[in-house]
Structure 1
Amino acid sequence: MDNVRTISRGIDLLEFLNRSGKATGAHIASQLGLSRPSTYRILETLTACGVVRYSEKDNKYALDWSAQTLASGLTERSRVLCVATPYLYELQKKVQWPTDLAIHENGVMVVKESTHPISPYSIESGIVGSRHPVLCGSLGRAYISFCPKGERDAILKNFFSRCTGGYEYFNSMQQIEWMIAKTRADGFGSRQQDVNAETSSIAVPIRFLGRVLACMDISWIASAMSFDEAVKKFHAPLDEARRAVERQLAAETMLN
């Protein structure tokens, strides 16, 4: 119980620093209703972990850069998932085939929302929470093709073996670069039975302020229609859903 309480207090402290920017230990203790000894113990632990930094110049604590980036990323992810989920379900109603929404985490795409359970044409289950190497599906291919170059280079450098997942069709950077160029030219990531022989899919990136926050896809049973037929049928509504999400993100930013 004590460990749980300490973790909870640590989270409260991080959230406070994320809101306030910088603060003394005494001010943090008073604002969170904690004793000073408890506050300083938590601050010492977080500082040792590299999450919080202390400035002797003004005797104040602040989130370290890495923690600020994490907090910003978590906020953006939560926001885009909230905004995009209704459009994901509207898209499924239009096309009937399953739709998914995924975010990138350390070289893999993690499916956060899916309409597979309600689609009459779904042949897959357990989609939400599933993780897919970033090069091995339309969602990941859309992500890596449209994310900033620096981020893309870091993914390929640090997670190359995990990204490829052992699939021979991406065993060289030349093949990856060709895929990225094609994806950017098409405007969508694609998977044509190369990972799952039964289904194919296309995906688009949801972009905001120069970053890719998430990706949205439509998948279908490959034997039901050709890839070209599916692209002709699905790309326009998928891209319209993507634009609607991006417009709402921009509008909410303006209001805030």
Structure 2
Amino acid sequence: MSGVKTIRALSRGLAVMRSLEADGPAALYELAARTGLSKPTLLRVLLTLEQEGYVRRGIGDQLYHHTVRTVPNAESGWKAVVAEVAAPILDRLCSVVLWPSDLGIYEDGAIHVQETTRRLSPFLLNRDVLSAEIHVLPSAMGRAVLAWSRPERRNAILKRLVERGRRADAMARDSEAVEALLKETVGQGYATRMRGYYITHRREADVSAIARPIMVRGEAIGAVNLTWVSSALGEREFAARYLGKLNAAARDINEALAPRFDRIPEPVL
């Protein structure tokens, strides 16, 4: 076998995949530094891997990610599964609504955005959400998770919020206030963002959001939202125009996730 030639292009492709799996998502220049490949060569390799379904480019961070085809099972890489399933659905939603949307999952007392269309939307809103911990009780996504969680998990989440002791989630100590908020949320069929809430930039206090839960095996593991500038539309008017489209996107994500999981993934409470 020593006289048989190897396939150089295949070797390069495997090097890129190993880098993405071992060291995480990366920009083109980072992959070039990791692999030692020139950018023109790397672009050809990445295009081939994208077309074959082994690499995808995030719509929120614009980084190259390995796909779930390279994940041993859905449970071990469940966040990657959720992001990859949601990405094309969020893309379609943005193309129709134009306002951006985020897909977040609950983990350890906060909502963590896995994918977002903020870079695709013509409306310029804060694009730093991928690196932010979003508070549960004042955010639309957090409220959606709580409202559609089973009682046992909801209580565990609220207990974790009390333990973390962050001011934005102080309502977790008031069981009656939380119960009233969640009852209202379920009754209207969608969660809303607390007026004036912001994460990192004060100007985000002028942003509103509505959200619907992302369900796996009957449990709310996260949520998908639509965000807009409050001065452009009131909440009721926005919901009247776009809630149906948000509901359809959430339903499509839920249906696409259903066959991927044999059991509920286990986010850290």
For the 8 Å contact 1:190–1:201, the answer to whether it is kept is: yes
The two structures, once aligned, show a CA RMSD in angstroms of 2.7
CA deviations over 1:52-92 (Å, ceiling 9, x no partner): xxxxxxxxxxxxxxxxxxx8754433322221111011111
SS in 2 for 1:82: helix
2:113 is matched with: 111
CA deviations over 1:193-229 (Å, ceiling 9, x no partner): 2314311000111112111232100000000011110
Amino acid at match of 1:174: E
Query: CA distance change for structure 1 residues 161 and 222 in 2, over 3 Å: closer, same or farther?
Result: farther
1:216 maps to 2:224: yes
1:21 is matched with: none
SS in 2 for 1:104: strand
1:179 maps to 2:187: no
- CA distance in 2 between counterparts of 1:225 and 1:88 reads 21
1:140 is matched with: 142
Among candidates 70, 76, 79, match of residue 78 of structure 2: 76
SS in 1 for 2:131: coil
SS in 2 for 1:122: coil
Gaps of 5+ in 2: 1-21, 23-72, 199-204, 263-269
Q: How does 1:103-252 map to 2 (within 5 A)?
A: 103-160=105-162, 162=164, 165-166=167-168, 172-196=174-198, 197-251=205-259
Q: How does 1:12-91 map to 2 (within 5 A)?
A: 73-91=75-93
- CA distance in 1 between counterparts of 2:216 and 2:168 reads 32
- CA distance in 1 between counterparts of 2:96 and 2:144 reads 22
- CA distance in 1 between counterparts of 2:131 and 2:161 reads 20
For the 8 Å contact 1:217–1:238, the answer to whether it is kept is: yes
Q: Normalized per residue, which structure has more helix? A: 1
- CA distance in 2 between counterparts of 1:117 and 1:244 reads 22
SS in 1 for 2:130: coil
For the 8 Å contact 1:101–1:215, the answer to whether it is kept is: yes
For the 8 Å contact 1:109–1:134, the answer to whether it is kept is: yes
Deviation at 1:182, TM superposition (A): 1.1
CA deviations over 1:73-123 (Å, ceiling 9, x no partner): 544333222211110111111100011011111110011111112211123
Gaps of 5+ in 1: 1-11, 13-70
Amino acid at match of 2:142: G
SS in 2 for 1:224: coil
Deviation at 1:167, TM superposition (A): 6.2
Q: Which has the larger radius of gyration?
A: 1
For the 8 Å contact 2:138–2:194, the answer to whether it is kept is: no
SS in 1 for 2:103: strand
- CA distance in 1 between counterparts of 2:100 and 2:160 reads 32
Amino acid at match of 2:96: K
Instruction: Name the count of aligned residue pairs.
Output: 187
Amino acid at match of 1:226: G
Deviates more, 1:244-253 or 1:88-97: 244-253
TM score, norm. by length of structure 2? 0.63
Amino acid at match of 1:180: L
Amino acid at match of 2:209: S
For the 8 Å contact 2:162–2:172, the answer to whether it is kept is: no
For the 8 Å contact 2:98–2:122, the answer to whether it is kept is: yes
